[in-house]
Amino acid sequence: MAWLSITLELDAPHADAMSDALMEAGAESVALEPVLDNAGLRTRLTALAAARTDAAVLVSAAARAAALAAPAFSVAQVADEDWVQRSHAQFGPIRVSDALWIVPSWHAPPDPLALTVQLDPGLAFGTGSHASTRLVLQYLEINVRAGSRVLDYGCGSGILAIVAAKLGAGEIAAVDIDPQALEATDSNARRNKVALQVSAPDSLPPGTYDLIVANILAGPLIALEPLLASRTRAGGRIALSGILDSQAADVVAAYARDFHAAVAATDEGWVLVEGLKR
């Protein structure tokens, strides 16, 4: 099977936002690589997309979502086996903390005593390598309570829901508008031997949750505030990521309607906003 490899270059903060937006717009995976040229230190993004993808439409949609001008890009075809070899070379075990590792299937767990999630790159956003994902994973380590009800809204690969399950959460729902994300989440949950309720948002059963996590983008998070607030029990918590430092105040203001909200952590210019439901 042939794929499209779409390559573009941006400065680092914009590259992170564009990477997230490319995944949301339909890219199968995105790799980031620092490059030094006459303009200084920049980041090269290489997005993998299905062969039938209109690269211009994908890049334009991602740029709009990231509030950026559409950048120049180049396109090349990549054979399936070449992409597999490239992925294996590029992605190794990811250490989230002393007690948590994200490990691709072709690697042995580096620490047999640590909590390990087996997850391969591709298909859906979320391998633990991105700062916004790490922020939520570290939050989950501290805040998941045994038996708690957890909702992962915009689950991508399912990494957040899977880690919540491994940390002892009880009933865990994972929702996403992208059918590929739901398929990836279901597959990854089975690979990690955890039980999740995986569905589109419209199929989520009624009820509230003790903890809701959402690693999306600032704009969608602001728009989702009424919905996520309605799904959080009184005294429950919410953890929001995919937010640049410059966007944090707007997200906090939006969630202050129903939560005691504040910035809880930062990582490489990305922010995690935490809220306690009133």
Q: How do residues 142-187 score in pLDDT, each as one tens digit?
A: 999 999 999 999 998 899 999 999 999 999 999 998 888 898 899 9
Q: Are residues 138 and 78 in the same domain?
A: no
Residue 247 domain-assigned (yes or no): yes
* Residue 108 within any structural domain of the chain: no
**Are 69 and 150 in a shared domain?**
no
Q: Tell me, yes or no, whether 231 lies in a domain.
A: yes
Range of the domain at 50: 2-90
- Pick left, alpha or beta for residue 63 (phi over 0 → left; psi -120 to 50 → alpha; otherwise beta): alpha
CATH at 147: 3.40.50.150
Count of structural domains within the chain: 2
In a domain, 8, yes or no: yes
Same domain, 267 and 149: yes
Residues 266 and 145 in one domain: yes
Is 102 part of any domain? Answer: no
Residue 252 and residue 150 share a domain: yes
42-94 tens-digit pLDDT: 888 988 888 899 999 999 999 998 889 999 999 998 766 555 555 555 567 87
Mean pLDDT, range 268-278, rounded to an integer:
94
pTM to 2 decimal places: 0.74
- The string of DSSP codes covering 125-151 is S--S-SHHHHHHHHHHHHH--TT--EE
**Which candidate, 255, 148, 262, 161, places its Cα nearest to that of 208?**
148
